[in-house]
Chain A
Amino acid sequence: MKFLNIILILILYFYSYPSFTSNYFDLIPIEVSKNVYVILGDNNDINKNNGGAISNTGFIVGDNGILVIDAGPSYLYASSVIEIINSYSKLPIKYLVVTHHHADHSFGISRYLEINTEIIMAEAEAKRYLKYGNRSLRQLSSLIGEEWFLNTKINSFQYKEKEYPVNLDLGARNIIIELYEEGHSDGDLIVKDLSSNTLFVGDLVFGQRAPTSPHANIYNWKNYLDEIIKKDWDILIPGHGNIIKNKEDVLQTKKWITFIDKTAKEASANGISALEIFNKGLPNFIKEYKLAKETWYRDLPLLINKYEFD
């Protein structure tokens, strides 16, 4: 009888397994400093298992409100994050800073609009989000399944013009938000929490992983990285990958973008097609980066194209 029960449980387990896992995010916040939390994304490409949750989300709890950094890839993801935040603190989520418009950072916006969170996003990036959002939503849905994007909408929201840097007080907790125009994206926001000396830099810095540059101005981006290295911080949270405490780790991003940019410029000057570069195999040094091949294949043609017929 006991044996039968076990079999029954096993059968039930396997039958229910897909429905349990298909839309479920396994999110574990890490407290990097007192009242500063990070939920690390899967440092991988968007796929059916991670549901698009590949970038890092942060939240900072003050005495009278909470600020969230990045909305994540979908309504469902944002809902899970909000649930977690509520389990830590009942204070209102006052602000959502969306570091830039890419889907893995912005598609959770619609969930935050429901709880009247103020969305802070660079104007140029808010425009891009509205302009290209539906198209990438469609592409992502067809790639990993519509069920991951249930209720996810590209809503327009009331846009408040800001003077950067923006200073916010969460209650005994001061936050500075700075704008870096036309670097990694048209407008990346970085968030500094003064009390913990923590810097959230979005995708201006990638940890371990190959930086993606489809909308980048690499010249500016390199300068911004130098500025970030010079800044005073103890903890740096990149858009993807692990928490950074060592300034040298920021150089990894700079090294990649310098290399891909140089390769693209040389190729476009000589009329070489990206395909011909791919055909030679991956350059050795980039192999140490996670997702090197995918990123190299995706970004190099875009960059060459950009330089070629300019």
Chain B
Amino acid sequence: MIKYFLILLILVYSGITVAGPMSDFKAGAELSEELSSSPTGKRNTPSSDSLIQSIEALNPNNSDIWSELQDNLLGKDINVLFVDDIKLIMQDYIEEAHKVPLIVTLPKRLHNFKNFILIIENNPIQQALSIKPYRSIEALGMNIRLEDDSPVRAAVLGDNGIWYIGSKMAFVASAGGCSTPACDPSVEVCETGTIGKIAIKQYEREAGAERIKLKITHPMETGFVTDLQGEIIPEYFVKNIHVDDNEGPIADITTFAALSSDPIILLDLPKKGQSVRIHVKDSLGLEFFSFKNNNTM
């Protein structure tokens, strides 16, 4: 009885409201419906436990690693603000941890950001990518790997020099998005696509705005997976993606193996351009072009 009362107290004091199935988290934010009705067997007593757990995990003060991560990835002696208007749209409970889609929408004041870094705290590879844009970007998306339950944070450097950080807690049904093979060749036939195959799609959004989706066929080996002989498959991943169109460069993206294999990147721009193209470099130095290269790049 007392236990329930305490939980209720905690709920009231932390200002939690029950929200829609895909609601977003900031540090100490709201409880989504998913979290309260866990569909996977992992937490079949959903309740306040997983809620409190996620709120605690999202609070950077409770994290053993956040301050070090912040120093390493964002820089020392910087101004950081945890905010709730950077929305991380992703599922709360994830069944396939090798490929987790994620969209980050930015508030208007951050459309002209200087740098964007996606951080997965509990991953062996904590940084998924960083994006340095040449134009304003309204939202971006990607597919990431999750090794285990983890806070996922989008750090956005505003033009005032402050890092704004939006966070979301993600739970995985079975851990190992970075350290187990997505396809296990010892028990199944694995098909691999041609490395470096590129697909680019441009869509019109409302009022002349544009959405760009890129897909690059690449294994994105993390270096944590072993092969049939027990040997570690060395890391091998896409390192840089340069995106441009007929009006010039759009963004330089630095990527890491915390992106899933065959990574997909999504960029929402306020204005539609013509003929988007990309130039990709991977960690073995191979280069791929979505266009005929005549050494101009």
Contacts and interface: CB of A to CB of B under 8 A. Distances in A.
Interface of A: 45-48, 131-135, 138-139, 142-144, 154, 270-271, 273-276, 278-279, 281-282, 293-294, 297-298, 301, 308-309
B20 A281 contact: yes
Interface in B209-231: 211, 213, 215
Nearest to A143: B41
Nearest to A46: B41
Contact of B41 (A132, A144, A308): A144
Given A47-B41, A143-B41, 10 more contacts: A47-B44, A138-B187, A143-B173, A143-B174, A271-B202, A271-B203, A271-B205, A271-B211, A273-B101, A309-B215
A301 B101 contact: yes
B108 interface: no
A36 B124 CA distance: 55
Nearest to A134: B187
Interface string B77-103: 000000000000111000100000111
Contacts of A301: 101
A82 B103 CA distance: 49
Nearest to A310: B199
25 contacts: A45-B39, A47-B41, A48-B41, A131-B188, A134-B187, A134-B188, A135-B183, A138-B187, A142-B173, A142-B174, A143-B42, A143-B174, A270-B203, A273-B101, A273-B266, A274-B101, A275-B22, A275-B90, A275-B141, A278-B22, A279-B22, A282-B21, A293-B21, A297-B39, A309-B199
A275 B174 contact: no
A298 B21 CA distance: 14
Contacts, number: 74
A-B CB proximity, top 10 nearest: A271-B203, A134-B187, A142-B174, A279-B22, A271-B211, A275-B89, A278-B22, A294-B39, A143-B41, A144-B41
Interface string B177-200: 000000110011100000000010
Contacts of B89: 275-276, 279
Contacts of B184: 134-135, 138
Contacts of B102: 275
Interface string B142-184: 0000000000000000000000000000000110000000011
Contacts of B20: 279, 281
A238 to B, nearest CB: 22
Given A143-B173, A270-B203, A275-B91, A293 B39 contact: yes
Contacts of A271: 201-203, 205, 211, 213, 266
Contacts of A275: 22, 89-91, 101-103, 141
Contacts of B211: 271
Contacts of A143: 40-42, 173-174
A308 B201 contact: yes
Contacts of B203: 270-271
A132 B141 CA distance: 29
A131 B187 CA distance: 7
Nearest to B88: A275
B226 to A, nearest CB: 15
A278 B32 CA distance: 13
A263 B213 CA distance: 19
Contact of B189 (A131, A282, A308): A131
Interface core residue of A46, A154, A273, A308 (most chain B CB under 10 Å)? A273
Contacts of A138: 184, 187
Given A275-B89, A275-B90, A293-B21, A135 B141 contact: no
A158 B199 CA distance: 42
A297 B94 CA distance: 10
B194 to A, nearest CB: 14
Nearest to A277: B22
A48 B90 contact: no
A46 B173 CA distance: 13
A293 B33 CA distance: 11
Nearest to B199: A309
B91 to A, nearest CB: 7
Contacts of A46: 41
Nearest to B20: A281
A49 to B, nearest CB: 9
Interface core residue of A135, A139, A270, A282 (most chain B CB under 10 Å)? A135
A56 B296 CA distance: 63
B188 A132 contact: yes
B94 to A, nearest CB: 10
Nearest to B202: A271
A281 B40 CA distance: 19
Contacts of B189: 131
Nearest to B93: A297
Interface string B34-46: 0000011110100
Given A134-B187, A271-B201, A273-B141, A278 B91 contact: yes
B17 to A, nearest CB: 16
